[in-house]
Structure 1
């Protein structure tokens, strides 16, 4: 489900009615918990939370004209997704999330490297996503990115 949007409000406005409220709630919980330094934008066709060039001028190694991505939320064809690059780069954070998930949701965890998929949109664990959003500051993300992703690509 590719949405062409110029800003997060435009993205949400284009969603099917049953997806608008869950995406809005995810947006609110992330914005309410994300540490300072990140900015909300449209990134890769999703609502993204990035480290802006003002804080990390080098940008993303795949395309340095883009800010460094960190989190994103998206309405995909069969699920709502939360993407969190910190889970991908920090085994400790991944382990924490996997251990905590059953405390917040009765549904089975459906996860890829950085993608958490919610096929049942009524079972999104908003409180857990809020806590996850607090776990890494922008400066910590830059260090993890440079150590685990950027250095591996060079």
Structure 2
């Protein structure tokens, strides 16, 4: 189910207490660690962190009226999801994350191409997510994004 919340705070307020706490902590982690230039928005029914049009005027190639997406977080039916587009586009970053994950969490990594699924909110590796959030600046992401578009 896609949220119709218009602000991140409204989104969090719609969640059950356990999910609200975990999502709030995940949001705080991203806000504290993302490099300057990313903006928090509601995007696709999720809390998103994007490169705003002021930094990247072309916007998202799928819909140029939208800013360039980077990270999104969502409370899905059976898990909390973190969508990190940089993991999808950067093989070195993905390899680093896959290697680091078992150092922080005892359970197996549950991941799609850019989606990390946390079935147990008490096992979200906030320190690792914070470290991941620091690894690409908006300028790094734009360069990587554009290199992928040209393939």
The two structures have a TM-score, normalised by structure 1, of: 0.96
- Mapped contact 2:2–2:44 kept (Cα < 8 A): no
* Runs of 4+ with >2 A deviation: none
Distance 1:2 1:145 in 2: 26
Match of 1:78 in 2: 78
SS at structure 1 position matched to 2:150: helix
1:104-119 equivalence runs, <5 A: 104-119=104-119
Deviation per CA, 1:70-104: give whole Å up to 9, x if none: 00100000000001000000000000000000011
Question: Structure 2: which 5+ residue stretches go unaligned?
Answer: none
Distance 2:14 2:23 in 1: 11
Distance 1:151 1:114 in 2: 19
Q: CA RMSD in A?
A: 0.7
- Mapped contact 2:37–2:138 kept (Cα < 8 A): yes
Q: CA deviation at 1:107?
A: 1.1
**Would you say how many aligned residue pairs link Structure 1 and Structure 2?**
151
Distance 1:74 1:37 in 2: 22
Match of 1:37 in 2: 37
Question: Structure 1: which 5+ residue stretches go unaligned?
Answer: none
Match of 1:139 in 2: 139
Q: CA deviation at 1:151?
A: 2.1
1:2-151 equivalence runs, <5 A: 2-148=2-148, 150-151=149-150
